[in-house]
Amino acid sequence: MNHLITSTHIITSTQTIEDGWLLVHDDKIITIGRGEPPELHAVQVVDAQGLTLMPGFVDLHVHGAMNYEAMDASVDGLRQMAKFYAQHGVTSFLPTTWTDTRGRIHAAMTAAKSAMSEIWNGAKILGVHMEGPYLNVDYTGAQNPDYVRHADHDEMKALFELDVIRLLALATEFEENHWLIRECAQRGITVSSAHSSATYEDIQHAVELGLSQATHTYNAMTGLHHRNPGTVGAVLTMPEIRAELIADNIHVHPVAMKVLWQCKGKDGMILISDAIRAAGMPDGDYPIDDRVINVKNGVVRLPDGTLAGSILTMDVALRNFMAATGESLEKIWQTSSLNAACAIGESHQRGSIEVNKSADLILVDENINVYLTMVEGRIVYERLNEYAPAK
Ligand SMILES: [Zn+2]
């Protein structure tokens, strides 16, 4: 199927085109133009009514939604998650595992792998993000401390055989985890510093081994002290590290978000949701492995009060981040798509609006409300009839 999207502001990789049009053939963007669109046969025309066309969101760190989670190891659960994310503008994502038994992590990855080849009405799975279990037990946040361990050769051998991990998050301060940073770097798997007591020097060393990302910056890491710059000091100052951020205004204060933006710039940050199974669901109690979390007024906590993931969606994350920084969408769009694609080596095929790239596109209004989501040239979500442009 071919699609011609007309009457739209297009945020391309190099410029914003006012009153533009864009032609999709099968799964690819093939022409981007300005002004009067061409007269074509056998195309489905999408009148964007002045909405903005931008790259679909790429969420590298997301555990669940709609009462499902990656750790359920259910292909149907992943399908429901993918559908929900697409309604919020996500076109591709990494289902994210967490600290658990070897068997349950393996099962979750096996399910994600079989889901990758499916064509469905939702965001595409690009692989898996393995968050934990090789963390620091003192910085677990909502990760279950009972299953925290050091990097295990046997376990990783079996998981590498699945060939599905794109991103692996671990604590870098342990010597026992260092071989895995090197091994991942060799295999083209991105490594992120997570749930860790790492000092500035630990991070420096880990970067030499291949570390290139920081998991939910500010959360579950050592803070910036003027005599002890910590992981936050390393993230803010080291260009080798891309910084994930949960921009929900709960995990991080808007001013701290702005500090991160000013230090890392438009290429250095990745918005993530870190959403758990309660995303898209009403307030209440939900299971997390063998424990219970409570969701109240958008805040997710363990019984002891610890923040336990979010119910954030990527559209809201971008909206919050624009408000926190005071920047325009034209300046900031990369933080929700291209930077994530770059981080996992996907930017040659997706993450920005360019000819020959995958047609992973969304139509949004100025408040980042999503009206259409296209994944690899297929419209998987659409509610353009609900859009009423100001006359
Ligand atoms: Zn997480």
pTM for this entry: 0.97
Across all residues in the chain, what is the average pLDDT?
A: 96
- Is the omega angle on the peptide bond into residue 239 within 30 degrees of 0, that is, cis? no
pLDDT of residue 287: 85
Q: Which tokens sit at 264?
A: 């890392």
DSSP-assigned letters across all residues of 44-96: EEEE-TTPEEEEPEEEEEE-EETTEEGGG--HHHHHHHHHHHHHTTEEEEEEE
Torsion of the alpha carbons at 79, 117, 353 and 43, rounded to the nearest 10: -90
Q: Stretch 345-356: mean pLDDT, rounded?
A: 98
pLDDT of residue 308: 87
pLDDT of residue 188: 98
Is residue 357 exposed (0-12), middle (13-18) or buried (19+ Cβ within 10 Å)? buried
Helices (H), the chain: 75-87, 102-116, 153-162, 178-187, 200-209, 230-237, 254-264, 314-325, 329-332, 338-343
Do the Cβ atoms of 300 and 285 come closer than 8 Å? no
- How far, in Å, is the centroid of ligand 1 from the Cα of 85? 16
Nearest Cα to Cα of residue 60 among 251, 342, 367: 342
Place of tokens 């920084």: 325
Q: Is the pLDDT of residue 389 over 90?
A: no
Do the Cβ atoms of 308 and 288 come closer than 8 Å? yes
pLDDT in tens, 188-203: 999 999 999 999 999 9
- How far, in Å, is the centroid of ligand 1 from the Cα of 310? 9
- How far, in Å, is the centroid of ligand 1 from the Cα of 120? 25
Q: For residue 53, what are the CA distances in angstroms to 37, 151, 178, 244, 350?
A: 15, 43, 42, 24, 15
Ramachandran area for residue 251 (φ above 0: left; ψ -120 to 50: alpha; else beta): alpha
pLDDT of residue 391: 61
- How far, in Å, is the centroid of ligand 1 from the Cα of 102? 18
Place of tokens 């709609």: 66
- How far, in Å, is the centroid of ligand 1 from the Cα of 166? 15
- How far, in Å, is the centroid of ligand 1 from the Cα of 61? 6
- How far, in Å, is the centroid of ligand 1 from the Cα of 169? 9
- How far, in Å, is the centroid of ligand 1 from the Cα of 201? 24
Torsion of the alpha carbons at 60, 151, 189 and 238, rounded to the nearest 10: 80
Place of tokens 């010597």: 175
Q: Whole-angstrom Cα distance, residue 55 to residue 314? A: 12
3-state secondary structure of 3: strand
Nearest Cα to Cα of residue 174 among 152, 139, 198: 198
Cα angle, residue 84 at apex, residues 80 and 88 outer, rounded to 5°: 165
The question of whether 100 is a catalytic residue gets the answer no
pLDDT of residue 235: 98
Nearest Cα to Cα of residue 270 among 282, 258, 259, 261: 261
pLDDT of residue 288: 80
Nearest Cα to Cα of residue 260 among 140, 368, 251: 251
Q: Whole-angstrom Cα distance, residue 282 to residue 210? A: 41
- How far, in Å, is the centroid of ligand 1 from the Cα of 66? 16
pLDDT in tens, 254-300: 999 999 999 999 999 999 999 999 999 999 999 887 788 999 988 99
Q: For residue 363, what are the CA distances in angstroms to 38, 244, 272?
A: 20, 24, 20
pLDDT in tens, 44-102: 999 999 999 999 999 999 999 999 999 999 999 999 999 999 999 999 999 999 999 99
- pLDDT tier for residue 388 given thresholds of 50, 70 and 90: confident
pLDDT in tens, 203-255: 999 999 999 999 999 999 999 999 999 999 999 999 999 999 999 999 999 99
Q: Position 35: which residue type?
A: G
Q: Is the pLDDT of residue 18 over 80?
A: yes
pLDDT of residue 363: 98
- How far, in Å, is the centroid of ligand 1 from the Cα of 131? 6
pLDDT in tens, 146-187: 999 999 999 999 999 999 999 999 999 999 999 999 999 999
Residue 328: DSSP 8-state: -
pLDDT of residue 119: 87
- How far, in Å, is the centroid of ligand 1 from the Cα of 37? 43
Q: From the candidates 274, 283, 304, 315, give the one annotated as an active-site residue.
A: 274
- How far, in Å, is the centroid of ligand 1 from the Cα of 145? 14
pLDDT of residue 73: 98
